[in-house]
Amino acid sequence: MKPMTEEDLDRAIWNRLNAEQRGKEVQKEINVFNQQVGGNHYKDMPIQPMEYTMANNMNPMQHTIIKYVSRYKNKNGIEDLEKALHTLNLLIDWEHGNAYKK
């Protein structure tokens, strides 16, 4: 049996909804990116950092940089930019082969 794709899962969820629930509101509610635990600094973005980085097959450090830069105005201000810079320096070290050597 082949693994279920995201499209298959979406279709299965959609098929379980009865006809009167198939409006835009219900479709919006089943999108996990419309939910957020602890604030709305991602939920209110047209494209969330997680959606963007997953769609572009980015690594965790790239994701973290994008996450901090995307949210800094709505969450921790300069501290998030400093976190992004720190993670960028980690990524540069990693790419040079200097990071995490034992």
Cβ neighbours, 10 Å, residue 67: 22
Return the residue matching tokens 């990071």: 99
Residues 6+ apart with CB under 8 A from 62: 53, 91
Summarize pLDDT for 15-37 with one digit per residue, the tens.
Answer: 665 545 555 554 555 566 666 66
* Residue 69 scores a pLDDT above 90: yes
Distance CA(67)–CA(78), nearest Å, equals 14
Predicted local distance difference test score (pLDDT) of residue 28:
53
Structure confidence at residue 70 as a pLDDT band (50, 70, 90): very high
Q: Which of 76, 29, 71 has its CA nearest to residue 49? A: 71
Per-residue pLDDT of 39-51, as tens digits, reads 666 767 788 888 8
CA–CA dist 50, 64 (Å, integer): 9
Q: Given a cut of 90, is residue 81 above it in pLDDT?
A: yes
Instruction: Determine the pLDDT at residue 88.
Output: 97
63, 50 Cβ separation under 8 angstroms: yes
Q: Where are the alpha helices (DSSP H) in the chain?
A: 6-16, 24-29, 49-55, 60-71, 78-96
